[in-house]
Amino acid sequence: MTLRTVALILCASALAGCSGASLGPPALPAGIMPGAVLRPPATVQPEGKRRHYVYWTLFASCSYPQVQFSRLPLKSTSKATSYYCSKANGLGYTSGLGLDSKGRLWVLSFNGKSGPKPSKVEVFKLPLRASSVQLYSFVLSGSDGCDALAFDPSGNLWVSSPGNSTVLEYKGPFTKSGTLTPALTVGVPSGYNMYSLAFDKSGDLFASNFKSTGTNSIGVLKPPYTGEPYFLSGLTSPGGLRFDTAGNLYAWTGGSTPAVVRYNSNDLKSGDKPSIVDPAGLPAGSYEAAFAFTSAGDLYAANCGNAASAGIDVWPLSRTKFSAKLKPSVLYTTPDVAQAGCAWGIAIK
């Protein structure tokens, strides 16, 4: 696996010094905000006519943008807007992204530095602009190096916290900035590193185990999340997870044949392996850290492999069925993403 993946493990363990080559230059002092590349229009349009955007994080210091975004549909020549660190937003080493039921963007942050505990999450109204100020700021007590988030069907926030080998649930209402206390702490067994999180329509929690070498790849825990999980298999160092509207689960596997995979909705039982494995057309060293779907059904992935592969990869599932030979229709990057060697979190709205 790449230096970026090693950096994730180190940062998630709350070790200092994560500003090495894999994370780019040392962080600039808080409050430095370089100019944006492109500012989205300020005109407020009806929902049906609003422009939609894809957002991604770079998991890098404040010398890089903390969030970048571009209009949909993404093209190889698309322009990106950059959102930087500031004293107001307190961002730094941003990781996971998520959307709540109100369409607000949640941005996980290593609290402005390379890996202290606890982590923070900043909540923004969309569309984001280079000058946006967050609506709410939450400290996630009990967390350590959070790298992914998800919302369950009831609107509760869940984060993976590999620094202290837990998965944490926080309950709303999320209407006032402050410190959130975990409503539930799910312990992760020794030798496991649960990373990406996803919920199916029944509220079952799916969590990818980065340390899997082919077995116990994705843990599945049913409500009320206090029992023993069962596991899907067949993945090596799995990354992002995402369900489509039909209940199929998309995931990433590394190993000798890196690929995007799909577990069909009827192949999500204990011990099941991927129904489709698609290694086609991906740059060498790819690592799909997170997935998102457009409203039309196209699959977007944040690639955090290395300088040559990092970016946003797009599979045109709105017009082509997913298969073992389907190549991405777009391989997109920016100079910042290439230099950082990573696009980590992703969200579409």
pLDDT value, residue 50: 73
Cα(290)–Cα(247) distance, integer angstroms: 17
Which residues is 290 bridged to in the sheet?
Answer: 302
Q: What's the full length of the chain, in residues?
A: 349
The pTM (predicted TM-score) of the whole model is 0.86
Q: What local confidence, expressed as pLDDT, does residue 63 receive?
A: 95
Spell out the residues 6+ positions from residue 189 whose beta carbon is closer than 8 angstroms to its own: none
pLDDT given at position 18: 39
Mean pLDDT of 298-315: 97
What is the predicted pLDDT for the residue at 111? Answer: 64
Query: Which sequence spans correspond to the domains of the chain?
Result: 3-20+51-348
- Under CATH, what is the fold of the domain 3-20+51-348? Methylamine Dehydrogenase; Chain H (2.130.10)
Mean model confidence pLDDT for the chain: 87
Q: What is the pLDDT of residues 204-221, one digit of tens each?
A: 999 999 999 999 999 999
Q: How many CB atoms lie within 10 A of CB 181?
A: 12
For 311: left if phi > 0, alpha if psi spans -120 to 50, otherwise beta; the answer is left
pLDDT of 26: 35
Distances (CA, A) of 7 to 94, 184, 201, 345: 13, 28, 33, 15
The predicted-structure confidence for 3-16, as pLDDT tens digits, reads as follows: 343 344 434 433 33
What pLDDT, on a 0 to 100 scale, did the predictor assign at position 140?
96
Non-local CB neighbours of 261 within 8 Å, separated by 6+ positions = 234, 235, 250, 251, 252, 253, 274, 275, 276, 277, 278
Token duo for residue 24: 């780019």
Give the pLDDT of residue 191. 87
**3-state DSSP assignment of residue 231:** strand
What is the percent of the chain with per-residue pLDDT over 90, rounded to a whole number?
79
CB 54 within 8 A of CB 75: no
Instruction: pLDDT band for 309, please (50, 70, 90 cuts).
Output: very high
Distance CA 252, CA 305 (A): 12
pLDDT tens profile 264-295: 999 999 999 999 999 999 999 999 999 999 99
What pLDDT digit, counting tens, does each position of 70-129 carry?
A: 999 999 999 999 999 998 998 999 999 999 999 999 999 986 555 567 999 999 999 999
Which residues 6+ apart lie within 8 Å of 16 measured at CB? 114, 115
| The pLDDT of residue 114 | 54
- Comparing CA positions, the residue from 125, 133, 144, 106 lying closest to residue 13 is 144
For the stretch 222-267, pLDDT in tens is 999 998 999 999 999 999 999 999 999 999 999 888 999 999 999 9
User: How far, in whole angstroms, is CA 98 from its chain's centroid?
Assistant: 7
